[in-house]
A and B are shown apart, each in its own frame.
Chain A
Amino acid sequence: MTSISEEELAELRERGKRLSAVYVYEAPLRAWHWLNALAIVCLCLTGYFIGQPLPTMPGEASANFLMGYIRFVHFTAALLFVVGFIGRMYWALVGNHHASQLFILPFWKGVWWVEVWEEIRWYLFLKREPRKYVGHNPLAQLAMFFFIVLGSLFMIFTGLALYSEGLMQGSWADKIAGWVLPMLGGSADVHAYHRLGMWIFVVFIIIHVYVAIREDIMSRQSIVSTMISGVRTFKDDRAE
């Protein structure tokens, strides 16, 4: 993490409030966002059909490999997802100040919780106008931490545990995540929880896409285009 002092941070915030455009999301971070999104969509779709397979294929077994291909896509996307997540953690260390926002909640800061509350009020239509934020708004940061950081870790560990079942004990996947199987009550339960995790991601996708578009229209800063260009623009230059 590029270290940044409190004053610098305050300065940055002030500047963000005044300026009309700030470069927030660096290229590797944006690339990760879209690759990750693609991987998640692939994983949810293929995962769904692994648990509830498509109707039976006609012909000889030797002429078909549908489940095999679906599982192949699932495992490939999963490994990309894991590599992407590791890359993202690395970027949190070396990227700009916003890159580590996802992983570290300013849990002990009173102001931050006040801002979370204000965002909740904004979503409950109790506040006429939201605040401006250069990075994630506090509520988004909270949601990202739980869904993307903890959610991904949960899916990675349960997923690798299930993957290790095929590779058998002693394999790399088993060494990393094999312990999850007995801990969560055996293979069948881990399958069930992993599938529940898929639904959590589906719920996240619904909320995330909706909120991003809504914020793009109704908040005071750009959202959707920021994840493409990296630049946060503001619609007004009022400070608060």
Chain B
Amino acid sequence: MAMTETFYDVMRRQGITRRSLLKFCSLTATALGLGPSYVPQIAHAMETKPRTPVLWLHGLECTCCSESFIRSAHPLAKDVVLSMISLDYDDTLMASAGHQAEAILDEVMTKYKGNYILAVEGNPPLNQDGMSCIIGGKPFVDQLRKVAKDAKAIISWGSCASFGCVQAARPNPTRATPVHEVITDKPIIRVPGCPPIAEVMTGVITYMLTFDRIPPLDRMGRPLMFYSQRIHDKCYRRPHFDAGQFVEAFDDESARKGYCLYKVGCKGPTTYNACSTVRWNEGTSFPIQSGHGCIGCSEEGFWDKGSWYARLTDIHQFGIEANADKIGGVAAAAVGGAVAVHAAVSALKRAQQKGE
């Protein structure tokens, strides 16, 4: 019976050697920060656990998450576990298309009812009856609801699914809505970033497949192993921040010396992600290393928080685009002026009363 087919069975069927499996297990243990003692445990799990299929849906998105994902530095994790074994449906990556593809979706949903993982890239737009994103002739939100119904857990890939991202930026004409606001009755793992780092994506999904449970999450539903600290907490330019050495303009001497990018708007201090440790493109670099501040792509509403080159966030509640220092400065000046006038009038009144 297909249900009892283990990861190992599928691997063998796909012509993967036992040696490759063990290699994969060691890699997984390392990627998740687990000791060597976990390798046999993972191997055992792969040999005995029935395989968990992953259905990957695409909503309103730019597909940057998929682009990131297929560039993972751990080809074993990406190719072996996902492309060949567990990723049963992904309309962008799969060979089949049209009715054939949709048939696979239905098949997995019935066969693995309550046992598959739903990964969502992008998000559903709710305005105009969801017409802004049509999958197979129907609004994406319908597909999302249908597939989510019997899913074991949901992974929200990227800032789109997690927070809304660019399509949900002001004024959000299509009412693009993050997944957790549409599906409220399932555990949701949020993996924000625009896109998320490839190794973070494979790390999260591998953890879920091998351990058959949801990784420890923070308050916002993000996996703690990758999102527990800010870029700033592990940034290699941090000593310059603490020393008070800042880039003031992108072409100044400080920029050449590689000082901290705080004053040119680096959002590292307010951004939870693993860029400063895992880095990008097989650990080659990350924005700050190449001299540009973090733009906070894994934070909620990062498109609407003002310039990427200014330190202070815009506060929209005040109608005009203003930051705390502009609002506060004006208020303090106004009150100071009022106090001066009031003091002058008081002095006059007092003089007048004394004269009486």
Contacts and interface: CB of A to CB of B under 8 A. Distances in A.
B327 interface: yes
A54 B343 CA distance: 34
Size category of the binding interface on chain B: 35 or more
Contacts of A51: 311-312, 324-325
B116 interface: no
A156 to B, nearest CB: 18
A66 B259 CA distance: 14
Interface stretch (B28-36, B207-215, B299-307): B299-307
Interface string B214-232: 0000111000100011100
B230 A187 contact: yes
B313 A198 contact: no
A70 B244 CA distance: 10
Nearest to A58: B245
Interface in A107-149: 123, 125, 128
Contacts of A128: 353
B156 to A, nearest CB: 15
Given A187-B272, A206-B336, A182 B220 contact: yes
Contacts of A214: 342-343, 346
A191 B220 contact: no
Interface string A50-61: 011111110001
Interface in B282-327: 296, 299-302, 305, 311-315, 323-325, 327
Interface residues of A, number: 48
A185 B300 contact: yes
Interface stretch (B10-18, B124-132, B262-270): B262-270
Contacts of A172: none
B52 interface: no
A188 B232 CA distance: 13
B270 A195 contact: no
Secondary structure at the B interface, as helix, strand, loop or mixed, is helix
Interface string A179-205: 101100111110111011011101100
Nearest to A199: B328
Contacts of B331: 199-200, 203
Secondary structure at the A interface, as helix, strand, loop or mixed, is helix
A53 B244 CA distance: 7
Given A206-B332, A210-B339, A214-B343, A188 B299 contact: yes
B116 to A, nearest CB: 29
Contact of B229 (A168, A202, A210): A168
Interface string B242-255: 11111010000010
A185 to B, nearest CB: 6
A64 B343 contact: no
Interface string A152-195: 00000000000001101100000000110110011111011101
B329 A199 contact: yes
A156 B328 CA distance: 19
Given A187-B230, A187-B299, A203-B335, A192 B246 contact: no
Nearest to B305: A188
Indicate the member of B248, B269, B270 with the most A CB atoms within 10 Å. B270
Given A51-B312, A188-B305, 6 more contacts: A54-B244, A62-B243, A66-B244, A182-B220, A192-B323, A210-B343
A232 to B, nearest CB: 21
B112 interface: no
A9 B263 CA distance: 56
A104 interface: no
B311 A52 contact: yes
Contact of A198 (B218, B229, B328, B343): B328
B318 to A, nearest CB: 10
B308 to A, nearest CB: 12
25 contacts: A52-B311, A56-B244, A56-B259, A66-B244, A68-B243, A70-B244, A169-B224, A181-B219, A186-B300, A187-B299, A188-B302, A192-B312, A192-B323, A195-B324, A195-B328, A196-B327, A196-B328, A202-B332, A203-B331, A206-B332, A206-B336, A207-B335, A210-B342, A214-B342, A218-B346
